[in-house]
Amino acid sequence: MLREKEVAMRKGIRMATLAASLLLVFGHALAAEQYTLKIQTAVPSASIYFQIIERMGKRIEAMSGGRLKVEVLPDGAVVGAFQILDAVHKGIVNGGQAWTHYWSGKHPAGLLFSAPVAGLGVGLDQLGTVSWIYEGGGDELLQEYFTKILKYDIKAFMCMPMGPEPFGWFAKPWNSLEELKKVKFRSPPGIPAETFKELGIPVVSMPGGEIVPAAQRGVIDAAEWISPADDRNLGLHTVWKNYYLQGLHQAISIGDVYVNLTWWNKLPEDLKEIFKAGIMSCITDMYNWNVSKNSQALKELVEKDGVKVYETPDEYVKAYMEAAEKVLNKYAAQDEFFRKVLNSMREWAKLTVPYEAYANGVYAKMGKTALEKGVVGYGK
C-alpha cells in the first residue's frame, strides 16, 4: 500500500513538473508574440511631422521590447493622403496619420476636433483643446465621430498639436479690415474659408504646391500655409516678404494617428498601454519641435531672407472671432452631432479660458517687454 502511494506521488510530481515546463515554454512563446503596426502618413518623409511619428514608433518599439513594431510610411506609399481613413478602415494598412478636419467633407464636425476655427469664437486655444480631448470628454466624442457618425472601424488618437498657424504672407502690408477685403487670399477650404467670406474677404483654395506659381502669376495676393518652417520650405518667402504670424483661421491645429479598431481590440492590454504612452510622448515632442524648428526658421526668414514680421491688427481678431461664431452656429443648427461637440467644447472653454487668459497672458507680456528692451530679438 505504501509502495503504491509512493509511486502515485512520484507520478504526480512528474506530471506537475511537465505541466510547469509546458506553461513556461508556452508562456515565453506568448510573451514573445510580435505585432506590427504600419502607419501611412499624410506627409512626405522629409516633413518634420513624419519624423515625429517615426520617433514615436521607435519609442513604442523600445518600450515593448520589440513586441510591437511600428513601420512609418510617407504619403503615397500605399494610398494618397485623403484615402488614408478608408485604407485603415478596410485594413489595407492598420495605421494612419492625418488631421480630423481632412474628413470634414464626410461630416463637418471633423473640423471641431483638429482645427476649431478662431477658438470657436470663445477664446479656446490649442492647449485648452488638447486638455478638452484628454480631460474634458473630447476623446469619447472623437471616437463617436469615427465609429458611430462615419461608421468606420477606427480608433483615433490626437497627438500632434502643431499650431498656431500663421495668418499668412502678403504682397503688401495692411492695417485695417477694409484693406484686407481687397486682397485675394489663399485659404483652407471649408469653415475657415466660409468665415473669411462672412467678413467680405475674397478667398480661393488650392493645394500647397500651387501657391507659389499662383502668386507669381498674380492670381493671388496673399496666402497661408502651415508654420515658419514649412512656409520657408515651400518657398513663400521668395514671392512675398510681409509675414503676419497671428492667424485665427487655424490658430489650433492638431494631428491624429489612426489604428484599425479590430486590430486594436486584439492587441494585449500591456501593449495598448505602451502605445498610449507613446501617443503622450508624441504630444510633448510636438510642442518641443514647434518651438525649436519654427524659431530657427523665423530667425532665418528675417535675417537671411529679408522678411518683415507684423502684428495682426486687433480689429481683425475681433471681427474674425465674431464671424466664426456665426458660421459655427449655422452648422450647429443644422446637425445634432456638430451641436453636441460644439457645446461640449464651449462648456470646456467657459471653465478653462478665464484661467488660461489671465495666467498664461503673462508669457506674452514678458516676451513683448523683453523685445522692447532689446534684450532678445534677431541680430542679438
Dihedral over Cα of 11, 13, 15, 21: its sign = negative
Grid coordinates in use for 34?
510580435
Within-domain flag for 370:
no
**What per-residue confidence (pLDDT) applies to 132?**
98
Within-domain flag for 171:
yes
Within-domain flag for 352:
no
% the chain with pLDDT above 90: 82
More confident residue, 207 or 222: 222
Together in a domain, 121 and 36? yes
The answer, yes or no, to whether residue 26 has pLDDT greater than 90, is: no
Within-domain flag for 25:
no
Q: What does the longest C-alpha to C-alpha distance in the chain come to?
A: 108
**What per-residue confidence (pLDDT) applies to 46?**
83
Q: What is the mean pLDDT of the chain?
A: 91
Domain count, the chain: 2
The SS3 of residue 347 is helix
Q: Are 141 and 156 in contact (CB under 8 A)?
A: no
Dihedral over Cα of 284, 119, 201, 104: its sign = positive
**What per-residue confidence (pLDDT) applies to 23?**
46
Look up the pTM and report it. 0.86
CB atoms within 10 A of CB 345: 26
Residue 158's pLDDT band, with cuts at 50, 70 and 90, is very high
Report the C-alpha gap between 214 and 65 in whole angstroms. Answer: 50
Residue 195's pLDDT band, with cuts at 50, 70 and 90, is very high
Looking at residues 283-300, what average pLDDT do you find?
95
> pLDDT tens across 39-50, in order?
999 988 988 889
Looking at residues 24-50, what average pLDDT do you find?
78
Residue 17's pLDDT band, with cuts at 50, 70 and 90, is low
Together in a domain, 57 and 124? yes
Q: Are 93 and 78 in contact (CB under 8 A)?
A: yes
> pLDDT tens across 196-220, in order?
999 999 999 888 889 999 999 999 9
The answer, yes or no, to whether residue 2 has pLDDT greater than 50, is: no
The answer, yes or no, to whether residue 250 has pLDDT greater than 70, is: yes
Together in a domain, 84 and 233? no
Domain range spanning residue 175? 164-249+309-334
Query: Residue 50: which CATH number?
Result: 3.40.190.170
CA distances from 245 to 121, 126, 169, 190, 271 (A): 19, 15, 9, 21, 40
Within-domain flag for 225:
yes
Sheet holding 203-204, edge to edge: 203-204, 185-186, 222-223, 168-170, 242-244, 308-310
pLDDT-wise least confident of 12-26, 85-99, 193-207, 291-305: 12-26
Q: Which residues contact 142 (CB under 8 A, 6 or more apart)?
A: 100, 113, 133, 156, 158
Together in a domain, 93 and 227? no
